[in-house]
Amino acid sequence: MSAANGSAGTQPARRVVVTGMGVVSPLGCEVDRFWRRLVAGESAVREITRFDHSDQRVHIAAEVPDFDPVEYVDKRTARRLDLFGQYAVAAAKMARDDAGVEPRAEAERTGALVGSGVGGLQTLHVEIEKLLNQGPERTNPLLIPMMIPNMGAAQVSLELGTKGPLSSTCTACAAGSDAIAQAFHVIRRGDADVMFAGGSEAPISAIGVAGFAAARSLSRRNDDPQAASRPFDAGRDGFVIGEGAGCLVLEELEHALRRDARIYAELAGVGFSSDSFHMTAPDETGRSQARAMRAALDMAGLRPGDIAYINAHGTATKTGDVAETKAVKIAFGGHARKVAISSNKSMIGHCLGASGAIEAVATVLTMVNSLAPPTINLTDPDPECDLDYIPLESRFMKVDAAASNSFGFGGHNVTLVFRRYDG
């Protein structure tokens, strides 16, 4: 018997379920609105409004529209948080309300684990400009706590009143999925009964866009923003930078049943691997990413054929999409051509450290609604990306088990596997 399922002399591993969700996304700041627009195939990519981009190579992004932090925190707190911290708190409070939990009631058994790839980039940019133009005496005394990536998790804990395990992940574009996976293990080993887990990112600043553009990571389809993010398409030319936050309430199964909670799905397995290949490029063979997928399947006790849907990392980079296609083929063997796959990034851009958390919400909703969102702009498939990527329109399909992939700069690979919970 595998360690994942318990062994002689040990208790079976505690099961982990999803009982609440919250999302701040370029398609909207409520789960229902996000989901409606996602399955409708709407693109959130527009011309950048946050700063003057006239001297930039890239003029487009997927910004969060109509976000008012005062809906989630008081004005004083809002001023003391970077935008990524505001997003993190907003998503966590939505998830709390959705789950119907009160963290303060069981504070020492409730924790928070929130990832971010770049942390408070907005604040850092503003304060560096202030330093250069006005001198060091004008530096905001809250610069450091507003900037450091762990502060998303810290602010969630402060706002919700959790006193259990508190941590953060900073694993680039895998940070949100990594946080969910680490929170899963916290509950399984008995260190908490409830965890607020996800990721948050607000990188759409002059320095953020310039940096990714200089690395030739971003699409330069400035004249056609809504068609710019083209995962698995032959015409793709890089990702579109996005922003937002996603949060899941993960709960130990028996704890959820005792309070008669609504259970969306079970988080059944997680898998990790590293490429050890390149600072930014993925392992081109797909073997490293495949190991994360197989590890998640093995932990869940599932076979490749049990997975009906994969929420792809699918960034729309030339090498990344081909590598992920190869990885799915390695991990799933003959089932690779039967599993349905799609990329949310075709609509919301690449939200970096928040991506995996937002996509985890979408993956759970795919199972709940028996409806898989599309990969929009996939009009001319790359011959090397020859799997079923649900082009252009959503697909009704029953999904009893699904996987979500996240791969980050530096070779961080995480796969989450969810399955339907039927009681």
Q: Could you tell me if residue 373 is left (phi over 0), alpha (psi between -120 and 50 degrees) or otherwise beta?
A: beta
Average pLDDT over residues 70-85: 96
| Pairing assessment for the beta strands 309-311 and 401-408 based on DSSP bridges | parallel
Q: What are phi and psi of 185, to 5 degrees?
A: -70, -35
In tens, the pLDDT along 124-156 reads 999 999 999 999 999 999 999 999 999 999 999
> Among this protein's residues, is 185 annotated catalytic?
no
Residue 295: per-residue pLDDT? 98
Q: Say yes or no to pLDDT of 116 above 60.
A: yes
C-alpha distance from residue 304 to each of 63, 102, 320, 363, 414 (Å): 36, 38, 22, 17, 17
Tell me how crowded residue 71 is: count the other CB atoms within 10 A of its CB. 11
Average pLDDT over residues 29-38: 97
Residue 281: per-residue pLDDT? 87
Domain formed by 16-258, architecture: 3-Layer(aba) Sandwich (3.40)
Tell me how crowded residue 379 is: count the other CB atoms within 10 A of its CB. 12
3-state class of 135 per DSSP? coil
Contact 246, 28 (CB under 8 A): no
Residue 279: per-residue pLDDT? 87
Q: The tokens 């799933």 sit on which residue?
A: 332
Q: Say yes or no to pLDDT of 1 above 50.
A: no
Average pLDDT over residues 49-63: 97
In tens, the pLDDT along 207-240 reads 999 999 999 999 999 999 999 999 999 999 999 9
Q: Residue 423 — pLDDT band, cuts 50, 70, 90?
A: confident
Contact 340, 251 (CB under 8 A): no
Q: Say yes or no to pLDDT of 4 above 50.
A: no
Looking at the chain, how many residues does it have? 423
What pTM was estimated for this model as a whole? 0.96
d(CA 198, CA 90): 12
d(CA 382, CA 208): 29
In tens, the pLDDT along 250-266 reads 999 999 999 999 999 99
Report residue 105 as tokens.
Answer: 């009631």
Q: Where in the chain is the domain with CATH 3.40.47.10?
A: 16-258, 270-415
Q: Amino acid letter at 139? A: T
Residue 10: per-residue pLDDT? 59
Determine what percent of the chain is predicted with pLDDT higher than 90: 95
Give the distance between the most distant pair of CA atoms in the chain. 67
350, 351, 385, 412: which is the annotated catalytic residue? Answer: 350
29, 53, 170, 173: which is the annotated catalytic residue? Answer: 173
Residue 422: per-residue pLDDT? 86
Q: What angle do CA 6, 11, 12 make, to 5 degrees?
A: 45
Q: Say yes or no to pLDDT of 5 above 70.
A: no
CA dihedral 381, 368, 103, 66 (to 10 degrees): 50
In sign, the C-alpha dihedral spanning 178, 180, 181, 185 is: positive
> Among this protein's residues, is 29 annotated catalytic?
no
DSSP 349-404: -B-GGGHHHHHHHHHHHHHHHTEEPPBTT-SSB-TT--S---BSS-EE---SEEEE
Tell me how crowded residue 80 is: count the other CB atoms within 10 A of its CB. 15
Q: Say yes or no to pLDDT of 6 above 70.
A: no
In tens, the pLDDT along 85-113 reads 999 999 999 999 999 999 999 999 999 99
d(CA 265, CA 17): 6
Residue 2: per-residue pLDDT? 39
In tens, the pLDDT along 288-319 reads 999 999 999 999 999 999 999 999 999 999 99
Q: Say yes or no to pLDDT of 76 above 50.
A: yes
Determine what percent of the chain is predicted with pLDDT higher than 70: 97
d(CA 229, CA 43): 9
Q: Indicate the average pLDDT of the chain.
A: 96
Q: Residue 386 — pLDDT band, cuts 50, 70, 90?
A: very high
Select the CATH number that applies to the domain covering 270-415 from these four: 3.40.47.10, 3.30.70.1400, 3.40.50.2020, 3.40.630.30: 3.40.47.10
Average pLDDT over residues 75-91: 97
Q: Amino acid letter at 169? A: T
d(CA 393, CA 289): 27
Task: Give the H or E element holding residue 269.
Answer: strand 265-274
> Among this protein's residues, is 278 annotated catalytic?
no
Q: Say yes or no to pLDDT of 9 above 60.
A: no
